[in-house]
Amino acid sequence: MKTIVVFASGSGTNAEKIIAYFAESEQVTVSKIYTNNPKAGVISRAAALGVATRVFDRNAFENQVLLELQEQKPTLVVLAGFLWKIPPSFIKAFPNKIINIHPSLLPKYGGKGMYGRHVFEAIAANNEQETGITIHYVNEHYDEGAIIFQAKTSVARTDTAADIAQKTHTLEYAHFAPQIQKLLQNK
C-alpha cells in the first residue's frame, strides 16, 4: 500500500479532494493530515472522512514531526495549502517525495508571502491574460522546485481576485489528485 501524508494550514478543500479521490483505492491511502493551525478547517474535513490529524507547533515541526514521518515512511508528502517553509532536514530525508501545489504558473507570483489571495490580487493588478496552477517538487527555496505539472486558465480584464481564485480552485480540484496518482505509479 502506498501512503500519502498531507500538510495543510487552512480550510483543507484540496486535502479533502485528495482524501476522497483515494478513498476507494486498494493501492493508495491518505494516512494522516498534519496541520500547524489548531483552528484549520482541514481538521474537521479530515475527521469527517476518517483520516487522523496531527496538530503541531513550530518546535514539534522541527523535531517530532520529522521523526514521525521517518517512522511512517510515506510514499509521498503532499503540501496542500501549507504555509510554512519546509526545513532542509525534511527535504534531505524525503528527496523527490515532497510536492506542493501553487496557485499560479510558476515562476510567476511565487516566493515568500505569495500564497492565496496575495497571488490572486497580484494577478488581477497586473492584468494577466492567463494564470493557472503549478504542482512542483519542494526544495530549499519557496516555489523553486522542479515543475511536475501546470494547467492554465484564461483571465478576463473584468476578473476580480475572487474570480481568479475560483478559476484556480477549479483547476486544483481537477488536477491535483490525478497528478498525485501519476507520481505514485512511478514510486
Task: Supply the residues annotated as catalytic.
Answer: 102
Burial of 94 (0-12, 13-18, 19+ CB in 10 A): buried
Question: What cell numbers appear for 142 in the block?
Answer: 519557496
Angle between helices 116-125 and 161-185 (to 10 degrees): 120
What is the three-state SS of 2-14? EEEEEEECCCCHH
- For 180, phi then psi, to 5°, come to -60, -45
Q: Return the number of other C-beta atoms located less than 10 Å from residue 75's C-beta.
A: 19
- The gap between the terminal CA atoms of the chain, to the nearest Å, is 11
CB 105 within 8 A of CB 48: no
Query: Phi/psi class of residue 160: alpha, beta or left (left: φ > 0; alpha: ψ in -120 to 50)?
Result: beta
